Amino acid sequence: MEREQYLAAIKPRMPEKRYIHTIGVMETAIELAKFYGEDEKKAEIAAILHDIAKYADIEWMEQIVLDEKLDARLIGWGSELLHGPVGAYIAESEFGIVDEDMLNAIRFHTTGRVGMSRLEKIIFVADMIEPNRKFDGVDRLRKKAKKSLDKVMSACVRHTLGFLIDTKQPIYPLSIECYNDMMKRED
C-alpha cells in the first residue's frame, strides 16, 4: 500500500484534529528518520498507523488484550494506554504489517519500554513534537531532536512523567521502566 491509501484508510477512523496530528507525526517522523539514518518508509507507515486505535471501543480493545494475550496489566487503564498495543494488533491483522520494528514503534509509542530501537524512539518523539503540538517546553524538545535521539527521547519521557505526576495520574509500569532505562544512558 502507498501513503495515500494508508491515509485514506485511517481518516474515517478518527476526528479531523487527530488526522491532522497524524499527518504532523508522519512528516516529523520522516524528517527524524532522514536525520538519524533510519528507514523513512517504515517511519512513514508506522507514524500513519500509530493512533489508529485511539477511538476504538474500550471493551473491544480489552477483549483483544485477552484474546491475543497482550500485556494483561493493560486491563482497566483505558484507551490512552490501550491504543498503542491494540494499534499494533490492527496494523498487523488489518494492514498486514509484519515488520516487528514497525509494530513495536506503534505498540510502545505511548509508554516507551526498555531497550527501544531507533525507529521506536523516532515515533515516540515525533508524536510529541509534531508541529501541531503546543505545550510549554515543546520548542526546547524540537531543538533537542536535532542534537541527539537519546537525549530528546529522554527529555520527552521526563516531560510526560512530570506531567502525569503534576496531574496526579497513575504511571504505567512500562513508562517507569523506560524512564529508568533512558537514565542509564544519560552521560
* Under rule CB under 6 A, residue 169 binds ligand GDP: yes
Residue 126: other Cβ atoms inside 10 A: 28
Smallest distance, ligand GDP to C-beta of residue 186, A: 20
Region of residue 69 (phi > 0: left; psi between -120 and 50: alpha; otherwise: beta): left
* Under rule CB under 6 A, residue 28 binds ligand GDP: no
- Residues 15/126, Cβ–Cβ less than 8 Å: no
Residue 160: other Cβ atoms inside 10 A: 19
Smallest distance, ligand GDP to C-beta of residue 187, A: 25
Closer Cβ to Fe ion, 44 or 51, answer by number = 51
Smallest distance, ligand GDP to C-beta of residue 43, A: 16
* Under rule CB under 6 A, residue 175 binds ligand GDP: yes
Residue 93 binds what, of ligand GDP, Fe ion, none (CB under 5 to 8 Å, by partner type)? none
* Under rule CB under 6 A, residue 111 binds ligand GDP: yes
CA distance 38 to 32: 8
Residue/partner pairs of 142-148 with CB below 8 Å, 24 or more apart: 145/32, 146/35
Cell numbers representing residue 29 in the block: 517522523
* Under rule CB under 5 A, residue 127 binds Fe ion: yes
- HSE (CB half, 13 Å, CA atoms) of 143? 4
Smallest distance, Fe ion to C-beta of residue 168, A: 19
* Under rule CB under 5 A, residue 120 binds Fe ion: no
* Under rule CB under 6 A, residue 107 binds ligand GDP: no
The residues binding Fe ion (CB under 5 A) are 51, 127
The residues binding ligand GDP (CB under 6 A) are 51, 54, 80, 109-111, 127, 160, 163-164, 169-172, 175
